[in-house]
Amino acid sequence: MIPPRFVLDLEAVRHNAAAWRARLGDRELWAVVKSDAYGCGALDVARAALESGAARLVVFDIAEAQRLRTAGVRAPIVQVFAARGDDLNTAIFLGVTPTVEDESSVRAASELGDWRGKRISVHVAIDSGTGWSGVPAARAYEFARSVRQFAGITWEGAWTHIAGKDSMDGQMRAFAGAVAALRAEGLAVPVVHIASTGPALWGRATGAARIGIGLFGATLSDADDKPALRQAVDVRANVIAVKTFEAATPLGYGGEYVAEQGETIATLRIGYADGLPKSLTGSGTVAIGGTRCAIVGAIGMNTTMAKVPAGAHVSPGDEAIVIGSPPGTTLDEVAAAASTVPHQLLGALARGIGVRRIGAT
């Protein structure tokens, strides 16, 4: 029995990075490769994005940056979570731009700069409404006053996370006020980065854009002026059984879906153990031989059932596209059908199946 397959097309990643660069105009593209590029392989994804014009890489943990540096990546790297203690030391040693959010970290960076005889570039995280990390926007003046005396610091940038489209305008106002406060107190922060993949298409046209899931073909947007992206992810599973039921039959655990008499059901070798969300039942589709088939019955640990439309022919051994280019199978569409985000979908399938990368240089 052939297990499900997950293929990442790095040529498509290159195309997407170039498409984002064109879409951004004179703004910089920063490629987000945190969490091993959502499980798809940070090193190869980073190289593909850099080859197509990404100006910097973005990581969450310093350990992620360390693996890239060990592999020979010399491009600028920015960490988007506050670094402290040994992580701060390691970031500076590796030439990674760390994030700071409190006086103690700034003091430590300043002392390291004095010891190394060089200025240390840092970015300031602003909490504009997510609560994850950062200087609360309303306390930016207070923060700036507490750290402006430290020598050896280059206040290169400031950034924030946008929680969602509905909160974006309010967060942008809070962030703008915080940046103005930092600058008024002598923290230059000439570089700002606010937009990730979604906000980059929600009308946010300021500063660098941190593009992560967009490298794989997702946009998180229904905007008309989306960049022409390719689906870089291809997930497939084989049909392992086909049944035409002679009587009404409940399918899967719980029997919530009942196959009617004469209905044909294809069973695929992929399930929630492979990272496929159970929430796709009744809302997701797969493509088998060019035919769009609705996912029905409860998704099992190793199996998923799909309804074969009348007149279509499906046989055991046929290949089903679970994520790909056919209508209903794109990253954005499958994530929406599963009531999740493409990031989570990609990471779960990458962990469950494993990724084969093609198109490496």
Q: Which tens digit of pLDDT belongs to each residue from 232-272?
A: 999 999 999 999 999 999 998 998 899 999 999 999 999 99
* pLDDT score, position 226: 85
* pLDDT score, position 116: 84
Kindly report whether the global pTM for this prediction surpasses the value 0.85. Answer: yes
Nearest to 179 by CA among 159, 153, 207: 159
How large a percentage of the chain has pLDDT more than 90? 88
Q: Which residues of the chain have a pLDDT value below 50? A: none
* pLDDT score, position 205: 67
The SS3 assignment for 109 reads helix
* pLDDT score, position 202: 86
- Give, in words, the CATH class of 10-215: alpha beta
Kindly state the tokens that stand for 58: 């973005």
CATH topology of domain 233-358: Lyase, Ornithine Decarboxylase; Chain A, domain 1 (2.40.37)
| CATH 2.40.37.10 location in the chain | 233-358
> CB-based burial of residue 313 (10 Å sphere; 0-12 exposed, 13-18 middle, 19+ buried)?
exposed
| CATH 3.20.20.10 location in the chain | 10-215
